[in-house]
Structure 1
């Protein structure tokens, strides 16, 4: 027999204790002391969780701070979320800013804004329009990055890697973007690689395209290699 759990609702200002709940709804300036385990977690306003969250879904509007790990099947962030631990997900969608002090791992990450991960970031699909920082390895089967802000990772690895300056719109929009917005990384390694406005020490792959704005020390490729006249490559060699 399934154990029955109650809902937790906070409106306005207040605090509550952690525990097991069916649904958690927090609205206003509120907090929870202790770990939370629930089916649905919804926060709207300025919310602080002094513990970890384990939930089926996590939905955040406003500013939420979690002093622990976050584990959920689906995470939707509209605003800002700070996670002082690891985040594990099946699907995460960010429209705003998210900071993770640990590592991020899951199936699909769809970011529209800024994504900061101090450790590694692993996903099957990583799609971003905006800026990001990954302190360790960014690893995904498919990586799509549209640069609108500073982008940085220690290393990048994947099967299909595509980095562009803008996502869509007229070509002259590129002139309106700040010149300092690049993807900076020590190395990029994958199967099919297309890079624009990327600064890297080493790029290694099967089919490699080095597009405009790139500054690469070394390119190693096995199949096709294309170099844009607006890119700078110190050395290239076929493996």
Structure 2
């Protein structure tokens, strides 16, 4: 099973500050609850067959009286990028997935991090607002597939690129994922465009190349991944 990762827009529903650690060395901690409307592909991080179970072939929810699907497992050692800051050692937990029509999923989840006092104040300014964020395992090596066929991709350069969100929207709107498209529209060099495409692959925005080198865009136009 792939490691969970998410890049897109989310609303900060709630935040809570607290102290954690030994009494003589306590650190400031922040808990956030977030909600986003994601594509059905996000379900693959939890169960490869989940989307096929909850959606009909036309994108309608199979059972309208079905409640959200919850997962209690906690993920550790994540990197979080949001509101112009990067946080490491982030914990991600309390997932809730509620299927919606048109292959959409209302996903809520909680994250715990250790910010500075200034960073808490800046994050608090966005309470109840929609922000751009990126969550990924912080070892920069993201696994694909099961233990019998793991593929490891190093995407640090592309994932850290400030044009990543722009590249995501570009390929989603054009319904085409190519290095030349990104290079031409963003007016950047070939190597940088190639790194961005690889990062979009890791984040589940585009497929890996087929035998002819072509990629498929896996999200709908204007959708968050």
Superposition TM-score tier, normalisation by shorter sequence: under 0.3
Structure having greater relative contact order (Cα 8 Å, sep ≥ 6): 2
TM-score (norm 2): 0.25
* Higher Cα Rg, which structure: 1
More helix by share: 2
More strand by share: 1
TM-score (norm 1): 0.24
